[in-house]
Chain A
Amino acid sequence: EAGVTQFPSHSVIEKGQTVTLRCDPISGHDNLYWYRRVMGKEIKFLLHFVKESKQDESGMPNNRFLAERTGGTYSTLKVQPAELEDSGVYFCATNTGYNSPLHFGNGTRLTVT
């Protein structure tokens, strides 16, 4: 079984530029989550998809962040325009349903300079 795949693994962009992160879930996992970890802090929730629908986006920091999950398959997270405080590791995770454990991708390390 292929795991959760994220790319790019690293991205370095300048303030004001746009970056798009992609996540390919484990096949059959309807739930897809985006999380972010800033250095020294806990992993924090950004949003949750059930198939193609946004179930909860209460963790999205502001309207510079836009997530999509077309057709309920892969998901993208776009940051536009990027700010310095957006730097961190962005994790995608998927699971099969409530109470089931999350399976994480390797993350995208975003650095905004």
Chain B
Amino acid sequence: QKEVEQNSGPLSVPEGAIASLNCTYSDRGSQSFFWYRQYSGKSPELIMSIYSNGDKEDGRFTAQLNKASQYVSLLIRDSQPSDSATYLCAVNRGDTGNQFYFGTGTSLTVIP
């Protein structure tokens, strides 16, 4: 079983729509959760971090965390063509190991 699983996509949405990206994780001891965006040939860049159950909003982005279900999601409202990228979910235990585990990423295309 993989540590972090994401819906593999590719996901296509029209411009202005809501894009929904999902991620599940296997380690119940995980404490911190991150969404990264990666453009082709570039490094991953942080979009959101979330540590507590519930929703966290930042502009057009909303991260949702449900630790009981071991599920974290990212919603992108009013999707723009510039949002087209691969989105990576990352999970961290936050203990002495401090390893980050990544999903394989979901490729998102926003169609103008």
Q: A99-B51, A101-B34 are in contact. Are A33 and B43 (CB under 8 A)?
A: no
Residues in B1-33 with C-beta less than 8 Å from chain A: 2, 4, 31-32
Report how far A107 CA is from B31 CA in the complex, Å.
Answer: 26
Residues in B50-91 with C-beta less than 8 Å from chain A: 51, 88, 90
A75 lies within 8 A of chain B by Cβ: no
**A41 and B44 within 8 A (CB):** no
B46 lies within 8 A of chain A by Cβ: yes
On chain B, the number of residues with a Cβ less than 8 Å from chain A's Cβ atoms is 28
Q: How many residue pairs at the A-B interface have CB separations less than 8 Å?
A: 57
Contacts of B97 in A (CB 8 A): 48, 55-56
On chain A, the number of residues with a Cβ less than 8 Å from chain B's Cβ atoms is 24
How would you classify the secondary structure of chain A's contact residues: helix, strand, loop or mixed?
strand
Q: What residues make up the interface of A, taking CB atoms closer than 8 Å to B?
A: 31, 33, 35, 40-45, 48, 55-56, 59, 91, 93, 98-99, 101-107
Q: What residues make up the interface of B, taking CB atoms closer than 8 Å to A?
A: 2, 4, 31-32, 34, 36, 42-46, 49, 51, 88, 90, 92, 94-105
